[in-house]
């Protein structure tokens, strides 16, 4: 009887074929990483513009997205460069210098609701772009990164990372 059951299972598996994994949630930019120097146009030595970004489709059930950009190499860790939340789940990109359409912008480490271009005081710094897919919207008013993280706790469906680096040219540090 056991041999028959195993045989039936083997037939069922061969008919069903191999399991297909869902595509990974990912974030990309032509001006950032992965793990390479970001364009000077995004920094204090250039225009200080927010990078153009694109990302893959989030998982089913996603209601909104959240984006954090942090510098983890500062003495005051992390230094928050951008907090973007309530990005509509249907949105897949943002243009240079702009938050994604329909999104709300929280407060960076300078208490400003905007992109803060990298301007490291010395040495190479790593800028971590983390995009979260949430099963809710947050509806917050002028939140900090900490406020957004607290509100999204227990609502994360997926996460994607992109890391870019920047070191200011000699003489500009």
Question: What's the pLDDT tens digit per position in 67-85?
Answer: 999 999 988 779 999 999 9
Question: What are the beta bridge partners of residue 162?
Answer: 129
Decide: 37 and 165 in contact? Cβ < 8 Å. yes
Q: What superfamily does domain 25-166 belong to in CATH? A: PEBP-like (3.90.280.10)
Question: What's the pLDDT tens digit per position in 50-71?
Answer: 999 999 999 999 999 999 999 9
Question: Residue 135 — very low, low, confident or very high, per pLDDT cuts 50/70/90?
Answer: very high
Question: Residue 8 — very low, low, confident or very high, per pLDDT cuts 50/70/90?
Answer: very low
What is the structure's pLDDT at 169?
87
Residues 6 or more apart whose CB falls under 8 angstroms from that of 48 comprise 42, 115, 116, 117
| Alpha carbon separation from 44 to 72, 75, 101 (Å, rounded) | 18, 19, 24
pLDDT at residue 100 above 60?
yes
What is the structure's pLDDT at 172?
67
Question: What are the beta bridge partners of residue 164?
Answer: 36, 127
Question: What's the pLDDT tens digit per position in 14-63?
Answer: 333 344 455 689 999 999 988 789 999 999 999 999 999 999 999 999 99
d(CA 94, CA 100) in angstroms, rounded, equals: 4
What's the predicted TM-score (pTM) here? 0.85
């Amino acid at each position: 009887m056991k041999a028959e059951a195993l045989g039936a299972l083997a037939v069922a598996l061969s008919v069903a074929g191999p399991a297909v994994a869902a595509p990974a949630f990912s974030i990309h930019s032509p001006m950032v990483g992965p793990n390479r120097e970001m364009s000077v146009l995004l920094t204090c030595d250039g225009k200080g513009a927010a990078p153009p970004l694109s990302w893959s489709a989030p998982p089913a059930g996603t209601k909104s997205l959240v984006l954090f950009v942090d510098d983890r190499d500062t003495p005051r860790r992390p230094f928050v460069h951008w907090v973007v939340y309530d990005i509509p789940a249907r949105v897949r990109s943002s243009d240079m210098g702009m938050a994604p359409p329909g999104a709300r912008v929280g407060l960076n480490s300078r208490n400003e609701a905007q992109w803060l271009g990298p301007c490291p005081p010395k040495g190479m710094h790593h800028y971590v772009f983390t995009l979260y897919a949430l099963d809710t919207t947050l509806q917050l008013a002028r939140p900090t990164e900490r406020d957004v993280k607290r509100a999204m706790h227990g609502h994360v469906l997926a996460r994607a990372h992109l890391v870019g680096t920047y070191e200011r040219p000699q003489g500009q540090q």
